[in-house]
Structure 1
Amino acid sequence: MNFGISKHLLSKGLPLLKQELLPMLDAFQTRAASKMAGGATKNRKRGKKTPRGIKVEEGQEVQRQTILCTQLQLRYYPGQNVKIGTNMTLNAMVDGKVLITKEKLNPYPDSPIYSGVQNGEVIERVFVHVLPFKQENRFRLISLV
């Protein structure tokens, strides 16, 4: 590429080279910012909250590992054939039907509400149970096979 720069300009030094090249650079198109830079937002809207609570109805048939209830604190207690996860989620341990009951709470001795129960205070809580399906009685003795 020849920009019309003579050899004597190169030998005289860089200041003269700049004087020769600057008018040529003005002919090239340069790009400018089309939008102003955005600032940080202060009043952001919060995202949608996670819906929590009981996810199944009473009498509904569920499979093993089905989520029965999500909660942040212990509002619903695990009953028969129900396990509680680390994030307080209740899951079914067996296939069966869901039963939701309100029962009298029987706390452990190291619980903070144990002394109140010993003094005669009645504490009722909601329990979620899974009643397993009845097993069929189809089996044969090994000696008859």
Structure 2
Amino acid sequence: MNVDITGKSEILKKYCKSQDVSLRVSVRYKAKKTVGAGNKNAGNANPKHRGWKVQDGKTVTAGTVLVTQTKTRFHPGLNVGFGRNGNLFAIEAGRVAVTCEKINPDFRHFWVRKNYAGRQDQVIYKKHFNVIPEKQHDRFVLIDAI
């Protein structure tokens, strides 16, 4: 019986010599990933729907998101807060008023230089969101004057 035992382990060599058995070795190679099955949805990101959420003249409650934005395209005005992610939200209940106002940014700050580069000598106008509070009721009764 002829058995080729070159390159086998020592235990296998001893077993084959002592038992006089033929040895068949099968080799299985590692499977690999097929090519081209990768990123088929690249470039199809979900829309973020940024921009105005409430139009001018509409009535809002406190905490309502008025604008979603990544850069400071819109600025907060009266009774409007500025979130960490750039969102503008109503602080009080009332009517929304959008105005276009002149701004005077401080060019010592990095983000101002980055967003308004080359506009130091120009007049810059930006939209400001304001919330005009609702009129309170007139049902107060004067009890005592001091």
1:143 equivalenced with 2:144 (yes/no): yes
State the Cα distance separating 1:134 from its structure 2 match: 1.2
Aligned positions of 1:27-106 closer than 5 A = 39=34, 40-45=37-42, 46-106=44-104
| Structure 1: 4+ residue segments shifted above 6 A | none
Look up the SS of the partner of 2:89 in the other structure.
Answer: strand
Structure number having the greater helix percentage: 1
Question: Aligned partner of 2:48: which letter?
Answer: T
Question: Aligned partner of 2:40: which letter?
Answer: N
Q: Distance between the aligned counterparts of 2:142 and 2:108, measured in 1?
A: 48
State the Cα distance separating 1:52 from its structure 2 match: 0.3
Question: Aligned partner of 2:139: which letter?
Answer: R
Distance 1:109 1:142, change over 3 A: farther
Q: What's the TM-score once normalised by structure 1's chain length?
A: 0.62
Distance 1:42 1:60, change over 3 A: same
State the Cα distance separating 1:49 from its structure 2 match: 1.5
Look up the SS of the partner of 1:142 in the other structure.
Answer: coil
Question: Aligned partner of 1:99: which letter?
Answer: A
Distance 1:110 1:137, change over 3 A: farther
Q: What's the TM-score once normalised by structure 2's chain length?
A: 0.62
State the Cα distance separating 1:57 from its structure 2 match: 0.9
Unpaired segments of 5 or more residues in structure 2? 1-31
State the Cα distance separating 1:109 from its structure 2 match: 6.5
